Structure 1
Amino acid sequence: MYTVLIIDDSPSMRRVIKDMIDSIDEFEVIATAVDAYDAREKIKQYEPDLVTIDINMPKMDGVTFLRNLMRLHPMPAVVVSGEGVRGNDIFDDGAVGFVPKPEAGESMVSFHSRIKDTLLNLTFLLKRYTLKKPKALKQVKTSKIEVHHKVHPNEVIPSKPALMPGSKVIAIGSSTGGVESLLKVFRDLPSGLPPIVITQHIPYGFSNSFAHRLNDNSQVNVHEAKDGEILERGYAYLAPGNMHLTIEKVGGNYKTKLLDTVKVSQHKPSVDVLFRSVNNSVGSSAMGVMMTGMGDDGSIAMKDMFDNGAYTVAQNKESCVVFGMPMKAIQAGAVKDIIHLNEIAQYIVEYSKGRRR
Structure 2
Amino acid sequence: EDAYDAREQILRLAPDVITLDVEMPRMNGIDFLERLMMYHPLPVVIFSSVTAPNSEAALQALSLGAVEVVAKPAAGTDARVVMQQLVRAIRAAAAANLGHEPDDGADSRPEMPLINPALRARIRQNVIAIGASTGGPAAIERVLTAMPAGSPPILIVQHMPAGFTNAFAQRLDARCEMDVREARDGDRVEPNVALIAPGDRHMTVVRRGEELRIALNDGPPVHHARPSVDVLFHSIAKTLGAEAVGVLLTGMGSDGAAGMRTMRDAGAHTIAQDEKSCVVFSMPEEAIRRGGACDVLPLAHIPAAALNAATSIMLGEVNGG
Q: Which residue of 2 aligns with 1:327?
A: 285
Aligned in 2, Cα 1:117/1:200: closer, same or farther, shift over 3 Å?
farther
Aligned in 2, Cα 1:79/1:234: closer, same or farther, shift over 3 Å?
closer
Distance 1:222 1:183 in 2: 11
Q: CA deviation at 1:29?
A: 6.3
Give the partner amino acid of 2:297: I
**Is contact 1:177-1:292 (8 Å) kept?**
yes
Q: CA deviation at 1:203?
A: 1.3
Residue 89 of structure 2 is aligned to residue 114 of structure 1: yes
Distance 1:260 1:111 in 2: 21
Q: Which residue of 1 aligns with 2:216?
A: 258
Within-5 A mapping of 1:230-245: 230-245=188-203
Give the partner amino acid of 1:87: G
Residue 226 of structure 2 is aligned to residue 283 of structure 1: no
**Is contact 2:70-2:89 (8 Å) kept?**
no
Residue 313 of structure 2 is aligned to residue 338 of structure 1: no
Within-5 A mapping of 1:1-357: 22-24=15-17, 27=18, 43-49=24-30, 79-80=71-72, 85=74, 87=76, 100-102=82-84, 111-115=86-90, 167-354=125-312
Q: CA deviation at 1:335?
A: 0.6
Q: Deviations over 1:202-261 (max 9, x none)?
A: 111100010011111111111000000111111111000110011111111110000112
Equivalent residue of 1:333, what SS? Answer: coil
Distance 1:254 1:75 in 2: 34
Distance 1:234 1:115 in 2: 36
Identity of aligned residues (%): 34
Q: CA deviation at 1:191?
A: 1.0
Q: Deviations over 1:47-99 (max 9, x none)?
A: 44499xxxxxxxxxxxxxx79x999xx97696545xxx563699xxxxxxx97
Give the partner amino acid of 1:290: L
Give the partner amino acid of 1:114: A
Q: CA deviation at 1:309?
A: 0.9
Q: Which residue of 2 aligns with 1:35?
A: none
Distance 2:248 2:30 in 1: 31
Give the partner amino acid of 1:23: D
Distance 1:75 1:309 in 2: 40
Aligned in 2, Cα 1:99/1:306: closer, same or farther, shift over 3 Å?
same
**Is contact 2:158-2:227 (8 Å) kept?**
yes
Distance 2:4 2:251 in 1: 23
State the TM-score, normalized to the length of structure 2.
0.69
Number of aligned residue pairs: give it. Answer: 256
Q: Deviations over 1:335-357 (max 9, x none)?
A: 11000100011112211320799
Q: Structure 1 regions of 5+ residues with no counterpart?
A: 7-14, 31-38, 52-65, 91-97, 103-109, 122-160
Runs of 4+ aligned residues of structure 1 deviating over 3 Å after TM superposition are: 2-6, 27-30, 43-51, 74-81, 115-121, 161-164
**Is contact 2:179-2:194 (8 Å) kept?**
yes
Q: CA deviation at 1:113?
A: 2.5
Equivalent residue of 1:172, what SS? Answer: strand
Give the partner amino acid of 1:225: A
Distance 2:145 2:27 in 1: 35
**Is contact 2:3-2:26 (8 Å) kept?**
no
Distance 1:79 1:318 in 2: 29
Distance 2:123 2:211 in 1: 6
Q: Deviations over 1:144-171 (max 9, x none)?
A: xxxxxxxxxxxxxxxxx9975xx41110
Whichever of the two has the greater Rg, that structure is 1
Give the partner amino acid of 1:192: G
**Is contact 1:162-1:231 (8 Å) kept?**
no
Q: Structure 2 regions of 5+ residues with no counterpart?
A: 33-48, 59-68, 97-120, 317-321
Q: CA deviation at 1:101?
A: 1.6
Equivalent residue of 1:255, what SS? Answer: strand
Q: Deviations over 1:248-304 (max 9, x none)?
A: 111111100001121012100000000011011100111000100000001111111
Aligned in 2, Cα 1:46/1:196: closer, same or farther, shift over 3 Å?
closer
Q: Which residue of 1 aligns with 2:118?
A: none
State the TM-score, normalized to the length of structure 1.
0.62
Distance 1:99 1:247 in 2: 28
Equivalent residue of 1:112, what SS? Answer: helix
What is the root-mean-square deviation of aligned Cα atoms in Å?
Answer: 4.0
Distance 1:304 1:352 in 2: 18
